Amino acid sequence: MLHHPHKRAGSTRRRTGRLAGAAAALAAVIGLGTLAGPGAHAADNPYERGPAPTTASIEALRGPYAVSQTSVSSLAVTGFGGGTIYYPTSTSDGTFGAVAISPGYTAYESSIAWLGPRLASQGFVVFTIDTNTTLDQPDSRGRQLLAALDYLTQRSSVRGRVDSSRLGVMGHSMGGGGSLEAAKSRPSLQAAIPLTPWNLDKTWPELRTPTMIIGADGDTIAPVSSHSEPFYTSLPSTLDRAYLELNGATHFAPNTSNTTIAKYSVSWLKRFIDNDTRYEQFLCPLPRPSLTIEEYRGNCPHTS
């Protein structure tokens, strides 16, 4: 976006008639059209990244950005167990929002690795982490997610690519419980997405972060009746919040590539980390039950 001054000078929709045609023709003649990358869309919203989304684009295995990755050794960090950073390769679109993702009890980074390139290719820096020990509890996982975000924005090799004011957290199971803990302790976080979350604390009225809780109807480890549903219900009714219950899914649905998880996660992160209202269409009106959605609850329209 930063190298497209023709797009920043005035949005396409403000040009009309012959002037618009002339501008388009000039852009074509000097080859700007072929330079236009994923960030070519005119942005009144400075955080908007990538082209206008479609159902196909948010369901795709990869989004518009090519992705690079770099490994972070546990020996090089404190407060969490290292991990892998996935990030858009291009430096032409300025900084990106970022999200840290924790695995669950006894599990490793590899168990949530599919989310790295899937989300980064849509225009986020994504840090999938290992925890200090695989037995760490949700409160510890929450602190570790925050330590990982601090490392990402302050010390990592990609810190210059990250907008430190636009951060989010995700996690599976105890890592999802950890994402609730992280949001509770750091209200400046812009989005949280707990995935089949597990936590002994059932009430989260303290959260100020827009939160989408994703549960699974067949989860017998963190049953939605005693985890995801009370977590969602306890969030402030004034908060932008959502509850997505996967249909025909188990506790381990977030451990393999899952298009329903991906498309709604991308939409939530875009809507609240990037303030990108182009994604509101996938969240409001509330998605209806389907072969993949058992139930969806939330507020519409969103208020933040």
Applying CB under 6 A, the residues found at the interface with ligand 9J3 are: 104-105, 173-174, 198, 221-222
Select the binding partner of residue 280 from ligand 9J3, Zn ion, none (C-beta < 5 to 8 A, by kind). Answer: none
The nearer residue to ligand 9J3, 36 or 221, going by C-beta atoms, is 221
The nearer residue to Zn ion, 207 or 261, going by C-beta atoms, is 207
Examine residue 54 and tell whether it contacts Zn ion (CB under 5 A).
no
Q: Minimum Å distance from CB 222 to ligand 9J3?
A: 6
Of 12, 89, 203, 281, the one binding Zn ion (CB under 5 A) is 203
Select the binding partner of residue 157 from Zn ion, ligand 9J3, none (C-beta < 5 to 8 A, by kind). Answer: none
Give the chain as a DSSP string.
-TT-HHHHSS-GGG--HHHHHHHHHHHHHTTHHHH--TT-S--SSTT--SSPP-HHHHHSSS-SS-EEEEEE-GGG-SSS--EEEEEES-STT--EEEEEEE--TT--GGGGTTHHHHHHTTT-EEEEE--SSTT--HHHHHHHHHHHHHHHHHTSTTGGGEEEEEEEEEEETHHHHHHHHHHHH-TT--EEEEES---S----TT--S-EEEEEETT-SSS-TTTTHHHHHHHS-TTS-EEEEEETT--TTGGGS--HHHHHHHHHHHHHHHS--GGGGGGTSSPPPP-SSEEEEEE-SS---
The nearer residue to ligand 9J3, 94 or 223, going by C-beta atoms, is 223
The nearer residue to Zn ion, 53 or 138, going by C-beta atoms, is 138
Q: Minimum Å distance from CB 231 to ligand 9J3?
A: 14
Q: How far is CA 111 from the centre of its chain?
A: 17
Q: Minimum Å distance from CB 292 to ligand 9J3?
A: 22
CA distance 220 to 216: 9
93 has catalytic annotation:
no
Confirm if 125 and 158 have CB atoms less than 8 A apart.
Answer: yes
274 has catalytic annotation:
no
Q: Minimum Å distance from CB 131 to ligand 9J3?
A: 10
Q: Minimum Å distance from CB 138 to Zn ion?
A: 11
Tokens 């002994």, located at residue: 200
The nearer residue to ligand 9J3, 221 or 286, going by C-beta atoms, is 221
Which residue among 136, 150, 163, 219 is the active-site one?
A: 219
Which residue among 111, 173, 179, 265 is the active-site one?
A: 173
173 has catalytic annotation:
yes
Examine residue 201 and tell whether it contacts Zn ion (CB under 5 A).
yes
Select the binding partner of residue 201 from Zn ion, ligand 9J3, none (C-beta < 5 to 8 A, by kind). Answer: Zn ion
Which residue among 41, 227, 251, 302 is the active-site one?
A: 251
Q: Which residues are part of the catalytic machinery?
A: 173, 219, 251
Q: What is the binding site for Zn ion (CB under 5 A)?
A: 201, 203
